[in-house]
Amino acid sequence: MNTSIFLNGSSLTRAQLVAIAKTGHGIELDQAQLVKVQRTADFLAEQVQRGEPIYGVTTGFGSNADKLLGAHRARDELPSGNPNGTDQSRRDGTLLEELQHNLVTTHAVCVGKPLAVEVVRAMLAIRVNTLMRGHSGIRAATLQSLAELLNRDVIPVIPEKGSVGASGDLAPLSHLAIVLLGEGEAFHRGERLPGGEALKRAGLAPVRLSFKEGLALNNGTAQMLASGALALDALEKLLATADLAAAMTLDAFAGRSSAFKEEVHALRPHPGQVETAANLRRLLGDSTLVDIPYHLVPRFKTWLADSWSDPADRAHRFDIGWDYVPPSQRHGKENFYKRFMPFKGGKKHQPQDAYCLRCIPQVHGAVRDALMQAQRVFDVELNAVTDNPLIFPDAVDAKVIEDQVISAGHFHGMPLALAMSYVKAAIPVLASISERRLNKLVDPATNDGLPAFLIGNEDATDSGFMIVQYTAAALVNDLATRAHPASVYSVPTSANAEDHVSMGTNEARHVLEMVEDLGHVLALELYTAAQALEYRQDMLNAARAVAARGDWQSLAAKVSGAPKPDHESHAQFVLEVKKLTGALASSEEFHAGSAVRAAFAKIRERIGFMQRDRAMDQDVKRICALVAGYELLPN
């Protein structure tokens, strides 16, 4: 167990929750706050002794709320039908104890595969933290037993589906609480065991629930909060990854940076947009590719045996070329050709890039705004009381018990559900613009002079990165079809006692699943952008190397449409080729921004450049692992 995180009900952060969930941190309970917890439990016991009607304590639960519990059972001889015969000790207790026991055992009815251990660890921490507020009626000893499940690695088995998000996560939290009773199932040190056996191996004893403890344990928003918090943590890092992928793609395109200037975004200062633009400026810092003059960028040409005359150049996996714009075609464009040389290579003569490049701040920024709104909601919920009824033992001027034990609706998950709906809609947007950038890289009509599908294809046998875009497209479609908000469709429960529910647990579960596929789309863009970037850098630096030798004749041979030596404009062509040679020779080495270079180097440590077709499955596996581990992000 790593260092324990202190819980007092009021100061749990998302970062701490993620640490508990993912890195094995234990929890330590504030002893002063435990005194308040016990004070509320004692107050509740006093009210029960006085015979006060209290929902879920001395009355039934849900649709049974209008039924008062009696002093004894109506029929003692009825069997429970439990084939294991484990319920006699519970039936030996009072009806009030039996109610709390039943509230847990009969509500543990989820289905599906077990939630990930990290989700359940987060749920345990959330439940302990909210109960530490001291408004739920649970005894300090029971709360400490719940905390010990986490600290001793007893992780309840909770099937993933079964909560409607009001009254909170009743069914999954019952699976969590049932292990405290010695029932259900739990993982202990990775082994799946019956709940009683897991407790025994961990040195823990089953708990017998007292007044309201069943309700306190299973009434709240812990599953949706845990799943959503972990999803938001992942999305925050994937937004940084999306910016990095976009920056690498921009460098590979030798794109334009003016759309990211600070003064531009000051005119439309949405916070996420401003942050994204600033991050792109940092990521592209030191780049000699972005904003490069059009005429310096050659276009790809298929390698031929006679493509390069100098032995120093024959190892290249490409040929390069430009088109010459003769003086007769410059009429009316004289000002342009005073600034730019008359050579058309890979870059189109246009001052703006496609939307998927130019609008990165607006799109990534809008997703950031959705994330920030959800983070605000979740930060409130992390330290909120979410069960029912709420107990105020020290209420001033309380005249009746209803002034101190108040039935409210804090279990309703709609604040979380709507926040998750917003994020759920944002995820396909981020994936979609990433796929559009990837598609632009592999399409020779749009990739500004790079090879079709980013492969040399000298023998016409290579597909290159064509199918990478197919997979990204499939993922984007899948994400889009899963983006329908669950929160808009309430299905009433409990004989209409719970006639409006949030479905926030489905929403959060969907989002947690969707961020994984978002990561895959971004990984595919990075995989493709690295190939494109290497081509772009190598093509430019090959031209620079020829120019550095002063070999203007070799560069002239790469220019299509050059006038013949006896043509009247040939002398002007020679002067202009020499000027192009000088401009390339005087340029510093062409390279991406420093942050992009660092990420590119990490990719190349695991995945080599693809000169000819090869099996790509392991490449894809490796790039997905790099993204999932956030290994490419700047420190």
User: Cα angle at 376 between 432 and 6, to 5 degrees?
Assistant: 120
Which of 281, 358, 482, 597 is catalytic? The answer is 358
Task: Enumerate residues 6+ apart whose C-beta is below 8 A from 567.
Answer: none
Strand partners, 373: none
Please list the residues that pair with 90 across neighbouring strands: none
Residues in the chain: 635
Helices (H), 408-448: 414-442
Distance between CA atoms of residues 334 and 511, nearest Å? 55
Give the three-class secondary structure for 322.
strand
Sort residue 304 into left (φ over 0), alpha (ψ -120 to 50) or beta.
Answer: beta
Which helix (DSSP H) or strand (DSSP E) does residue 114 occupy?
strand 111-114
Q: Select which of 8, 25, 55, 97 is catalytic.
A: 55
Of residues 61, 211, 260, 411, which has the active-site annotation?
411
Distances in whole angstroms, Cα of residue 589 to Cα of each of 282, 301, 339, 513, 578: 20, 21, 22, 43, 19
Q: Rounded distance, CA 453 to CA 437, Å?
A: 13
Q: Give which of 365, 61, 412, 77 is closest to 211, Cα–Cα.
A: 61
Q: What is the dihedral of CA 534, 536, 539, 541, to 10 degrees?
A: -80
Nearest to 275 by CA among 374, 361, 355: 361
Which position among 336, 355, 470, 609 bears the catalytic label? 355
Helix or strand run (H / E) with residue 178? helix 170-178
- In DSSP terms, which residues pair with 68 in a beta bridge? 59
CA distance linking residue 96 with residue 339, whole number of Å: 87
Q: Which of 219, 279, 383, 388 is catalytic?
A: 219
Give φ, ψ of 343 to 5 degrees: -130, 125
Distance CA 339, CA 293 (A): 9
Q: Which of 25, 90, 101, 107 is the catalytic position?
A: 107
Tell me how far apart the alpha carbons of residues 523 and 633 are, in angstroms, rounded to a whole number. 12
- Active-site residue (options: 97, 98, 498, 576): 498
Residues 465/535, Cβ–Cβ less than 8 Å: no
Retrieve residue 458's tokens.
């000298």
* Number of continuous H segments (helices) and E segments (strands) in the chain: 22, 13
CA distance 47 to 58: 10
28 counts as catalytic: no
Query: What residues contact 416, with CB distance under 8 A and at least 6 apart?
Result: 165, 221, 224, 225, 228, 377, 378, 381, 502, 504, 507, 508
The SS3 of residue 610 is coil
Indicate the residue type of 378.
F
Helix (H, G, I), strand (E, B) or coil at 159: strand
What stretches of 205-308 adopt beta strand conformation (E)?
Answer: 299-301
Asked if 179 and 198 count as a contact pair (C-beta separation under 8 A), the reply is yes
Catalytic site includes residue 107? yes
Instruction: Pull the structure tokens for residue 374.
Output: 């959800």
Q: How many CB atoms lie within 10 A of CB 460?
A: 6
Phi first, then psi: what are they for 36, rounded to 5°? -65, -40
Question: Cβ–Cβ contacts within 10 Å for residue 206, how many?
Answer: 15
How far is 83 from 400, CA to CA, in rounded Å? Answer: 44
From start to end of 345-394, where are the E strands? 390-391
Can 498 be counted among the known catalytic residues? yes
Instruction: Please give the positions annotated as active site.
Output: 55, 107, 219, 355, 358, 411, 498
